[in-house]
Amino acid sequence: MMALAAAGLPQAAGAQEAWPSRSVQMIVPFPPGGQADVTARPVAAALERVFGQAVPVVNRSGAGGILGTSSVARAAPDGYTALMALSSHAVLPESERIQNRTPAYTIEQFAPVARITADPTVFLVAANAPWRSIEELVADAKKRPGAITFGSAGNYSTLHVAMAMFTGSAGIDMLHVPYQGGGPALTALLSGTLHTLASGPGPALAHVKEGRLRALASWGRERLPGFEDVPTFIELGHPEVEFYIWTAVFLPAATPAPVRDRLRQALRQICESDEGLRRALDTAGSPIAYQEGAEFDRFFQQDSARLIRAVQRIGKVD
């Protein structure tokens, strides 16, 4: 095993063995192809270069992210099972409560380690779709309530919440079609099964460049790199429609502080200096937006509160 001292990861006093002494699973609670997966794979590869241990990415999808996330909540708090979460992390327990179900996990069962990326979502349609602008789509949706579909990674997922913000601001009714993750929803849009989709820019960028999809707007405050000709919803007269898909690493809450600190150190190291990771995320259209410690804790609490309010506005779904 690569010496952790060489990686800048000192051994905890009194520890019986250096962590990690074996492989560390990175659980992605969504299918391959979505934003969490696109981020997790180069992060895991970079961590392997630091740790000298395998960091396999395991896609454990189901129930809009609940299945994989709850499995990490129940995992042994030894640092060998980590979660690559999306901004839906705090949304899912609230959605369960709204549906009169006991949440499969709570956010208190997790220790936030670090945020890796934070990307505004992008509003996508197929390249042969009849709408060339958001204004055209809104006008059509007002004429045909419920006729235009939008996909998501599941009920109350980040993609669902983002679209609910837009449809509420525009005063239109669109038909929500939930999938098991962002990857399958994107595949459905590409195949013509769906009309529209909110997507992270990373999974969407290559398809837009290839001319298979068209981006009509983004949820950011500023235009996105790679999507410079795509206006923001704020520019288009929807000042409250601002939303980001972020990815972050969490551990079970009871994980010892020295292990959490070592993983945080490693994540900081690769985000600051691993050119392979930086190139991979830049190429994917999802640049590093690293946060840790009190800064990430504050961001997570504020963002979670905003998203929970949005879910409460959506209310109960069938």
> Do the domains 25-119+245-314 and 122-236 sit in the same CATH topology, yes or no?
yes
Q: Predicted confidence band at 305 (pLDDT cuts at 50, 70, 90)?
A: confident
Q: Predicted confidence band at 7 (pLDDT cuts at 50, 70, 90)?
A: very low
With CA atoms as reference, report the closest residue to 160 among 94, 67, 109. Answer: 94
Whether 181 has a pLDDT exceeding 70, the answer reads yes
- Residue of 165 and 56 predicted with greater confidence: 56
CA dist list (Å): 182 to 42, 121, 149: 18, 12, 15
pLDDT of residue 41: 98
As beta bridge partners, residue 125 has 196, 214
Contact between 216 and 204 (Cβ < 8 Å): no
pLDDT of residue 16: 52
Q: Measured between alpha carbons, how far is 41 from 103 in angstroms, rounded to an integer?
A: 28
Contact between 202 and 215 (Cβ < 8 Å): no
Contact between 152 and 159 (Cβ < 8 Å): yes
Q: Predicted confidence band at 159 (pLDDT cuts at 50, 70, 90)?
A: confident
Whether 2 has a pLDDT exceeding 50, the answer reads no
CATH domain 122-236 topology: D-Maltodextrin-Binding Protein; domain 2 (3.40.190)
CATH of segment(s) 25-119+245-314? 3.40.190.150
Count, residues in the chain: 318
For 198-257, the pLDDT digits (tens) are: 998 888 888 999 999 999 999 988 998 889 999 999 999 998 888 888 999 999 999 999
Contacts within 8 Å (CB) and 24+ apart, 57-62: 57/26, 57/28, 57/84, 58/25, 58/26, 58/27, 58/28, 59/28, 59/30, 59/31, 59/32, 60/27, 60/28, 60/29, 61/28, 61/29, 61/30, 61/31, 61/180, 61/181, 62/29, 62/180
For 61-88, the pLDDT digits (tens) are: 988 889 999 999 999 999 999 999 998 8
Single-letter amino acid code for the residue at 145: P
Q: Measured between alpha carbons, how far is 266 from 270 in angstroms, rounded to an integer?
A: 6
**Mean local confidence (pLDDT), 123-152:** 97
pLDDT of residue 200: 83
- Angle at the Cα of 305 (from 302 to 310), degrees rounded to 5? 130
Q: What six digits make up the tokens of 15? A: 């520890």
Contacts within 8 Å (CB) and 24+ apart, 41-47: 41/280, 42/276, 42/277, 42/280, 42/281, 43/84, 43/116, 43/249, 43/267, 43/270, 43/277, 45/276, 45/277, 45/280, 46/270, 46/274, 46/276, 46/277, 47/266, 47/267, 47/270
With CA atoms as reference, report the closest residue to 197 among 144, 154, 140, 159. Answer: 159
Domain ranges of the chain: 25-119+245-314, 122-236
Rg of the chain in Å (alpha carbons): 20
Place of tokens 């980040």: 158
